[in-house]
Structure 1
């Protein structure tokens, strides 16, 4: 099996995390690069901040009140394309409704973002995806991203091209 392409990004502060979200919005809005985002990281690592930057940069994003959907499991933002923001923090064993939400997102050609993706069963991982592992760093955060599927790989390549200042060699 071939290894997945990877990219490490250094995020020194909240502004850089929001900028990464905005860059991802521009990339994932293109259906040819539409990939799901699977986010893994500790509480407070920047996952929801990234989603705030992403949703806020899409058309309709001014009406998106981005918050961690821990109690709802999923928030759907009125953006174009829609963003399905799934949070699995409170359901580490899984929840049958998550599969329904992912299917609805696919039918609507939405952008899917899953926080606490380590709780998403492997057989439910979307084929086209970016997996983001948030890691502590001496200052700020390190976001290690890997890609799967043609659109995930295209999205990762585009991200490397538009965010060269964040790439951590």
Structure 2
């Protein structure tokens, strides 16, 4: 796989979205491939379902009550690494506290996942990230996954290698 090119995935159902989350968890535990995950897609596209699959696969995930952070803005889950699940739906102009969470992710202190990442100001975009865009599909979901930055491209390569073991 060429990590400079995006990966396109067809996710026929909720189970496959959870499986993609589990595959991302395998990538997220490595310090060489841990990057921010920026999620873009409409309401009900599967963003929070993906996070649920990811969190459930990490150590401590059994204690994580994954829910959309639309009203809290940030949910923190007791996983290892800790997940900071950010939602920008209600703050389309960005928020300084979100940038603090992104900095903690860049420092390796947490795994930062941002829903509605299209609202993240360009200056706040992490240098190393995976961008996951949900695209319209006749049935199920279609995702475009792109790796940005050296660690983002490494994460994309690792994800592509992990997908067959996860049934994707």
The answer, yes or no, to whether TM exceeds 0.5 is: yes
8 Å CA contact 2:35–2:105 kept in 1: the answer is no
1:94-141 Cα deviation digits (max 9, x unpaired): 122211222233345211100000000011111110001101211100
Q: Which runs of 5+ in 2 are unaligned?
A: none
User: Hey, what does 1:154 align to over in structure 2?
Assistant: 154
How do 1:20-169 residues align onto structure 2 when only pairs under 5 Å count? 20-164=20-164, 166=168
With 104-113 and 120-129 compared, the bigger mean Cα shift is at 104-113
2 CA distance for matches of 1:151 and 1:43?
29
Q: Any idea what SS the aligned residue of 1:71 has? A: coil
Q: Which runs of 5+ in 1 are unaligned?
A: none
8 Å CA contact 1:58–1:79 kept in 2: the answer is yes
Scaled by the length of structure 1, the TM-score of the pair is: 0.92
Aligned-pair distance for 1:155?
1.0
RMSD: 1.4
8 Å CA contact 2:58–2:79 kept in 1: the answer is yes
2 CA distance for matches of 1:93 and 1:124?
12
Aligned-pair distance for 1:93?
1.3
2 CA distance for matches of 1:107 and 1:148?
17
8 Å CA contact 1:5–1:153 kept in 2: the answer is no
Q: Any idea what SS the aligned residue of 1:69 has? A: coil
Q: Any idea what SS the aligned residue of 1:89 has? A: coil
Number of aligned pairs? 164
1 CA distance for matches of 2:160 and 2:36?
17
